[in-house]
């Protein structure tokens, strides 16, 4: 695995990205793709992979040096996710942990950073993330998990779904409605963001039977009158949704890295196969029907990658990176899907054999067209915010 | 499940198709999609489903009445496969059995028909099918399984791959080279088609670890000096490949039915979901971004279906249905893929939950772009045979 | 030019289609594509082409024999339009004339048929068609042309746009609102359908500067208090829009024929070119990047064509052909566009030279994605009517 | 017109691009799109536009300051072309002139630079460009124009085609074979690059009848024993093709700018129209079927643009920009085509009216998928050079 960085990655980011890529080589050696697949198949977990990330110091990236981290910002997080994904070993939890830490770093107290962020560097603490509810889709109005103020803090009841790694995580960063029912709300007001200890009474997990290959499991998480202390609240009561929104650009860029890494992994397998598979004597890669879809996917991935690192650099420099982040997620997920599709078609029937490890890539890349935000919603965003068209 | 037959199905085929669709309703009641998925997941087999087909008299379809069957021709076979597939329960073996029976009916002796075809009507006999070899792809020159003449028949050695249902079948219809190595051959000459008893000594199976949902398993089948009697040969020695070619149009049409049935199943689930899922109050099906891909897939499936039944009618009337069969396979597999893709996107994250049964449809539809012949090869065929362009 | 009819055209229609194709060969000899282009370029008209159609007896097709025509129904009209279009000489007016005649035959009096339909057979009379208005798009509510009852008939004022052949036609079949302004209407009620003599005082034409190649011109037509007699009204006052709706399926099928014919013309040119153009020694048609798009377009055209003739046969047999007609228009226009796109790419730079006559085909095929109804509206129709999804 | 520069344009290029965009505003005021179209329609020329470029000092961009120019490099040329194209007034000759000047600056003598490059800054001299021949396509082996050494220089005979602006240009930069026929050549050896005065005896022009909107005309240029002096040769005899190859990356990036500018012009028109066109009361831009294709095209154009300026910056910094240039041309031309297609569909029937100026954009964007190198050839390049697949 080489970084293979065209000049599409800005010069100022290149050294950082290169060094992350080198560090990830060690992680991939310790926890190779075959192990990743095996853990996924046995519905295991990502703890070995996580330990390898700790050992390589990669969990310190994205936390400012003055806060005890290794710096690197979102560009660093993006490089970590991309490199792991290019090696075929993207941990779902990484995206969530980096996202959660960002929210606490931006809106939490010094004590909350000490308690919740720093232990993630050493692997003592993992954080999962809870927003989605069964009936709500992307409509925040429809969220029903409620946190009612109590003398000592809040009492939380409700249900979340598609919670990745809830069995491995120690805490969940949870969005819950704090405004009393009946109060008139805007789309984003009336929410609190809580760091909830998953070992508290009243929390139950139900593992979902998910059809993709990831070592982490997915859960429904039920909250039945869970009592949390007052300092579980991150930032101000009522601002939780705004805090989320302010971190979405971060998430979209990391998602792009995830997709593009896997797309690259799929593409490289296809190229290797097309160079040697030769039932008619010449390698099948000499056929335009084989090579052109691979080439087009490659170009589209490079374009998305350029946008992704430009977005990360923009975010790190404090400019509004919303347009770039949304474009990177859209382009990245689409290009990665084109790559894995071309890879499947190149491999022919053998793509469907588990050991070939091609079809095994598809569901994860496919779901990134949909989660955490589907590409149609991004097209809505671009129509309204970039083009100035009316809301659909 | 209704037949939902637009006038795209020729008037002369409509009654037959309708009656098959009704018969399949009983099969689907006895062996519903949930059971199908369960058997697939536990790497079981299709024996219950097969018995239900026998009980419904459906295995008699496609065998001429004067031969003891129920008639119906390829149109009947196509309707059986389509109806089963629309119900979400397409048996891999059905396509293979109908294909194998056709070859024996056309080229076998009266005794071979008695021995091998008639017992399939009652379910006493299942036939699997062996052509593909690991290194050969679609290049017949590269096939290496050899049948050497012996005093009592032939001695067969070699290896086949992607053999569906080899554990359930009693016999395999096997293509093997009979010409001595070194003899100069054309692309198709020098092959024999053999009906080989799978319980013979020297045959070993290795189950492949396949990533799709079908009750039947896939195997590598090894032949190590397997002695078969002289009457295992179907038709003339040297003509085996020609026999295959003459049945390919039949296969392509049945494959189209398989794909279109599953595509329809996926589409109907999406429509039902889009009619009721309403996180923002109005059903998501009112969004053009949701409904247009579904509508386009629907239209493309209807067009492919029209071509498919036209091809079946052409085959049954003895005209050369090659163009229609190839077009039906290409259009059918592509349209079905568009349908399942739109269904996934409509279902959002829930598509990836096993119980939703959407993502579970995708691999089988996807492989039908590739097997038994990939769509690029069909485009080659159309370029050369229909357009008169030079060979690529 | 041969009919090249695969068995996708139902057996019962094949003889009719064949004979029409033969008759059109004579028309194409008398008025070849080169003349068509020349007339288009000089903003001429289609009168010579029309005369050739008269001479070949083709304008009698689609009028029942008992009414003095040659029969053939919509299948006949479709074959005429397809054959002319395959020869590169599709007259815009043919589609309009056949559409207008159909409305009069169905809803007009015996006298109106005598006056308006029969003279079209001999070419004495041409009819153009006026529905579209500048601000209305596909919204009938927004139509503003008004016919006010007078003692002797109606007084018509308003404006129509995109009226093809208004300079050549003798009459226009005009949709105008007859209900008094302010009266509450449903979407379709309150319209009259009028056969208006274009030589009447108060009618003014303004030729539009249109960027496609057709011998007929397009016009804005202004009606300034035009007095028409009572018998200009076809059928009942108030039913005009319903009459139109009842003829739309006819129109969509003829549009499909128009598109598919031109697509076929473009494809054949590409195939001929790809067979001989060989800057590297072998013909470029041997490249998969050249041949596969042509092959795919061919298959999609055949599928659309099958749907088109099935729809025509359904219409002629009196069944509701709405689904088939809409699907045929959608598939036909899309497939034809794929064909002309592939033809352009095959021809390379030479496609843009007028004499090559490839780029000259594109605008007309392109507009058929939009007119008379855009393909997005057809997807809406299919979503609602075929899939049962809510209105978008 | 605003520069609308997202952070996708590298910080170091942004000021230059901004200042070019401002300068072009003046050019567009002096020679607006309407004039451009009018000149194109009357088969005029681009002389007024050229003068406006001179007046704005824009022809000095791309020539090093130490050579008497304004500097700016390829980034500057790209910005000029993009800005002109975004204003709807891209001069064909600009791309050719900048390309030709680059070759002379890199390989010519000081005297040749004085004679041929500097006069282009003041508009005294225009240079057109001659490589393509009727039978050669992209195969240099097939080029037949020959320059035979004479005592005083060379005698040139042959034919070139698709020569833009040959009537306006004073000289043509001409590729001709100098090796004697029969000599064994590699693909690139044996050519000379000549600066030929178009007023010399033996040169004849034949205007082609081209179907796109550009003020410049296209020509076949015939060379019949044209005597040129020895100093017409640029650089070394035998190296002409290598010189061309070394400038191709420059050309591809300028082509991307051309396409993207026009695509942006088409997109902006569509957005403006979709914001106000409202036959049903709400603007059509609120329909996802309208807005999503526009949004996707916008994102794809931004991605291509990022690649384009990255490529220009790479070229200017002396790194090998081949991958970036090829990717930018491929992505830029495709994205621009998506934009104009979406714009046509948004405008409906009115897109086909000359005054609407939408369909008038299409042929030029379409030809940029093909010229100067078709996108399939770029996919070949990427397959071989970036992916390491065998030659197709």
CA dist C222 and C158 (Å) reads 6
Three-state SS at C161: strand
For residue C242, what is the enclosing H or E element? Answer: helix C240-276
- Taking a C-beta distance cutoff of 8 angstroms, is the pair D350, D316 a contact? no
Residue C128: closest CA among C194, C74, C80? C194
pTM above 0.80, yes or no: yes
Domain ranges of chain D: 11-126, 129-238, 242-386
Q: Crossing angle for the helix pair D322-347 and D240-276, nearest 10 degrees?
A: 30
Q: How far is the alpha carbon of B33 from chain A, nearest alpha carbon, in Å?
A: 17
- What's the pLDDT band for B265 if we cut at 50, 70, 90? very high
DSSP letter for each residue of C167-191? TT-SEEEEEEE-SPTT----SS-SE
CA dist B130 and B388 (Å) reads 32
Given a cut of 70, whether residue A76 has pLDDT beyond it is: yes
pLDDT digits (tens, 9 = 90+) for A257-307: 999 999 999 999 999 999 999 998 999 999 999 999 999 999 999 999 999
pLDDT of residue C188: 72
Q: In the numeric block, which tokens belong to residue A94? A: 């990484």
pLDDT of residue C3: 44
CATH code, residues C11-125: 1.10.540.10
Beta strands in D264-311 (DSSP E): none
CA dist B20 and A220 (Å) reads 43
pLDDT of residue D1: 36
Minimum-distance CB partner of A307 among D306, D321, D376: D306
Backbone phi and psi for residue A205, each to the nearest 5 degrees, phi listed first: -110, 145
Backbone phi and psi for residue B233, each to the nearest 5 degrees, phi listed first: -75, 130
D391: which residues sit within 8 A by CB, 6+ positions away? A286, D380, D384
CA dist A180 and C236 (Å) reads 62
pLDDT digits (tens, 9 = 90+) for A29-74: 999 999 999 999 999 998 999 999 999 999 999 999 999 999 999 9
CA dist B352 and C313 (Å) reads 43
CATH class, domain A11-126, is: mainly alpha
Interface test mutation site (partner A, options C289, C294, C345, max chain A beta carbons within 10 A): C289
CA dist C302 and C260 (Å) reads 9
> For D361, which DSSP code?
G
pLDDT of residue B135: 86
Chain Cα centroid distance, residue B77: 10
Given a cut of 70, whether residue D7 has pLDDT beyond it is: no
The tens place of each residue's pLDDT in chain C, 392 residues long, gives 344 555 567 777 889 999 999 999 999 999 999 999 999 999 999 899 999 999 999 999 999 999 999 999 999 999 999 999 999 999 999 988 888 999 999 999 999 999 999 999 999 999 999 999 998 877 877 889 999 999 999 999 999 999 999 999 999 999 999 987 667 666 678 899 999 999 999 999 999 999 999 999 999 999 999 999 999 999 999 999 999 888 889 999 999 999 999 999 999 999 999 999 999 899 999 999 999 999 999 999 999 999 999 999 999 999 878 999 999 999 999 999 999 999 999 999 999 999 999 999 999 999 999 999 999 999 999 999 999 999 98
CA dist B31 and B87 (Å) reads 10
- Per DSSP bridges, beta strands C191-197 and C233-238 are antiparallel
Across-strand partners of D63? none
- Per DSSP bridges, beta strands C171-177 and C127-130 are parallel
CA dist D165 and D217 (Å) reads 5
User: Per this entry, what is the length of chain A?
Assistant: 392
Interface test mutation site (partner D, options B280, B289, B294, B295, max chain D beta carbons within 10 A): B289
- Taking a C-beta distance cutoff of 8 angstroms, is the pair C27, C48 a contact? no
D277: which residues sit within 8 A by CB, 6+ positions away? C137, D283, D284, D285
CA dist D147 and D225 (Å) reads 9
Whether D379 sits inside 8 A of A6 (CB atoms) is no
Q: In the numeric block, which tokens belong to residue B111? A: 């005794």
- Per DSSP bridges, beta strands D127-130 and D171-177 are parallel
Q: What residues of B are in contact with residue A384 (Cβ under 8 Å)?
A: none
The Cβ of residue C240 has, within 10 Å, a number of other Cβ atoms equal to 29
For residue D346, what is the enclosing H or E element? Answer: helix D322-347
Chosen CATH of D242-386 out of 3.40.1440.60, 1.20.140.10, 3.40.50.11810, 1.10.10.10: 1.20.140.10
End-to-end CA distance of chain C: 44
Q: How far is the alpha carbon of C17 from chain A, nearest alpha carbon, in Å?
A: 37
CA dist A329 and A311 (Å) reads 10
Whether A289 sits inside 8 A of C288 (CB atoms) is yes
pLDDT of residue C4: 55
pLDDT digits (tens, 9 = 90+) for C184-241: 666 678 899 999 999 999 999 999 999 999 999 999 999 999 999 999 999 999 999 9
Given a cut of 90, whether residue A135 has pLDDT beyond it is: no
Rg (alpha carbons) of chain A, rounded to whole number: 21
D129-238 maps to CATH 2.40.110.10 = yes
The Cβ of residue D178 has, within 10 Å, a number of other Cβ atoms equal to 22
The Cβ of residue A279 has, within 10 Å, a number of other Cβ atoms equal to 19
Helix/strand number for chain B, H first, E second: 12, 8
Q: In the numeric block, which tokens belong to residue D102? A: 């680059």
> Who wins on pLDDT, A138 or C94?
C94
CA distances from C373 to C71, C368, D177, D334 (A): 28, 8, 55, 27
CATH code, residues A129-237: 2.40.110.10
pLDDT of residue D138: 74
What count of CB pairs under 8 Å joins C to D? Answer: 103
CB-neighbour burial class of residue B121 (10 A; exposed 0-12, middle 13-18, buried 19+): buried
Q: How far is the alpha carbon of D111 from chain A, nearest alpha carbon, in Å?
A: 36
- What's the pLDDT band for D137 if we cut at 50, 70, 90? confident
pLDDT of residue C223: 98
Tokens 């050695």 correspond to what residue? B157
- Taking a C-beta distance cutoff of 8 angstroms, is the pair A197, A223 a contact? no
pLDDT digits (tens, 9 = 90+) for D363-377: 999 999 999 999 999
Interface test mutation site (partner D, options C212, C219, C370, C391, max chain D beta carbons within 10 A): C370
For residue D291, give the chain B residue with the closest CA. B289
Whether A211 sits inside 8 A of B354 (CB atoms) is yes
Given a cut of 70, whether residue A113 has pLDDT beyond it is: yes
Q: Return mean pLDDT, chain B.
A: 93
> For A204, which DSSP code?
E
- Taking a C-beta distance cutoff of 8 angstroms, is the pair B343, B337 a contact? no
Backbone phi and psi for residue C233, each to the nearest 5 degrees, phi listed first: -75, 130
pLDDT digits (tens, 9 = 90+) for B43-70: 999 899 999 999 999 999 999 999 999 9
Tokens 């029912």 correspond to what residue? A181
pLDDT of residue C291: 98
> For A171, which DSSP code?
E
Three-state SS at B228: strand
Given a cut of 70, whether residue D172 has pLDDT beyond it is: yes
CA dist A83 and D129 (Å) reads 46
Three-state SS at C94: helix
Whether C287 sits inside 8 A of A292 (CB atoms) is no
ipTM of the complex: 0.96
For residue A326, give the chain D residue with the closest CA. D299
* Whole-number percent of chain D with pLDDT over 90: 84
Q: In the numeric block, which tokens belong to residue B170? A: 């009693």
- Taking a C-beta distance cutoff of 8 angstroms, is the pair C59, C95 a contact? no
Given a cut of 50, whether residue D123 has pLDDT beyond it is: yes
pLDDT of residue B2: 40
Given a cut of 70, whether residue B5 has pLDDT beyond it is: no
pLDDT of residue B178: 93
- What's the pLDDT band for D241 if we cut at 50, 70, 90? very high
pLDDT of residue B4: 55
Q: What residues of B are in contact with residue D292 (Cβ under 8 Å)?
A: 288-289
pLDDT of residue A1: 36
Q: What residues of D are in contact with residue C208 (Cβ under 8 Å)?
A: 353
pLDDT of residue A363: 98
What count of CB pairs under 8 Å joins A to C? Answer: 9
């Amino acid at each position: 695995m080489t970084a293979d960085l065209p000049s599409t990655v800005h010069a100022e980011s290149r050294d950082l990205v290169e060094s992350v890529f080198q560090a990830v080589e060690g992680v991939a050696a310790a926890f190779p793709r075959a192990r990743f697949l095996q853990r996924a198949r046995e519905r295991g977990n990502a703890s070995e992979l996580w330990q390898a990330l700790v050992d390589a110091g990669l969990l310190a990236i994205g936390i400012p040096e003055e806060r005890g981290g290794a710096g690197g910002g979102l560009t660093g997080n993006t490089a970590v996710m991309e490199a792991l994904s290019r090696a075929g070993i993207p941990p779902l939890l990484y995206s969530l942990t980096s996202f959660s830490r960002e929210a606490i770093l931006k809106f939490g107290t010094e004590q909350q950073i000490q308690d919740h962020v720093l232990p993630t560097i050493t692997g003592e603490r993992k954080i999962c993330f809870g927003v989605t509810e069964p009936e709500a889709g992307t409509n925040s109005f429809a969220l029903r998990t409620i946190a009612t103020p109590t003398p000592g803090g809040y009492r939380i009841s409700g249900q979340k779904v598609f919670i990745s790694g809830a069995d491995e995580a120690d805490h969940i960063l949870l969005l819950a409605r704090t405004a009393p029912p009946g109060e008139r709300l805007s789309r984003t007001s009336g929410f609190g963001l809580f760091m909830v200890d998953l070992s508290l009474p009243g929390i139950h997990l139900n593992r979902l039977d998910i059809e993709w290959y990831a070592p982490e499991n997915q859960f429904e998480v039920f909250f039945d009158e869970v009592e949390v202390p007052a300092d579980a609240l991150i930032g101000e009561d009522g601002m939780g949704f705004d805090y989320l929104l302010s971190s979405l650009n971060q998430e979209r860029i990391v998602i792009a890295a995830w997709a593009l890494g896997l797309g690259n992994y799929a593409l490289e397998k296809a190229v290797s196969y097309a160079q040697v598979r030769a039932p008619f004597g010449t390698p099948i890669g000499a056929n335009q029907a084989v090579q052109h879809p691979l080439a087009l996917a490659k170009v589209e991935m490079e374009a998305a990658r350029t946008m992704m690192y430009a977005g990360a650099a923009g975010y790190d420099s404090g400019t509004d990176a919303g347009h770039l982040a949304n474009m990177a997620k859209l382009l990245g997920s689409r290009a990665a899907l084109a790559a894995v599709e071309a890879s499947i078609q190149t491999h022919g029937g053998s793509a469907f054999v588990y050991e070939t490890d091609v079809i095994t890539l598809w569901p994860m890349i496919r779901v990134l067209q949909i989660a955490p935000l589907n590409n149609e919603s991004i097209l809505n965003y671009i129509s309204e915010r970039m083009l100035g068209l009316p809301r659909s």
